[in-house]
Amino acid sequence: MELMVGLISSRHPMPVSEFVYHGTVEDPNDYLVLERIAKSFLHEHVIGSGLSKVVLHVTGLGQALSSFLKMWTWAVAAHPDAMPMLDLAHWDRETDNYLRQSWDLMIE
Measure the CA angle with vertex 74, ends 1 and 108; round to 5°: 85
pLDDT in tens, 45-104: 999 999 999 999 998 899 999 999 999 999 999 998 999 999 999 999 999 999 999 997
Q: Where are the domains of the chain?
A: 2-102
Give residue 105's pLDDT band: very low, low, confident or very high (50, 70, 90).
low
Most confident option among 3-12, 33-42, 99-108: 33-42
The predicted model scores a pTM of 0.92
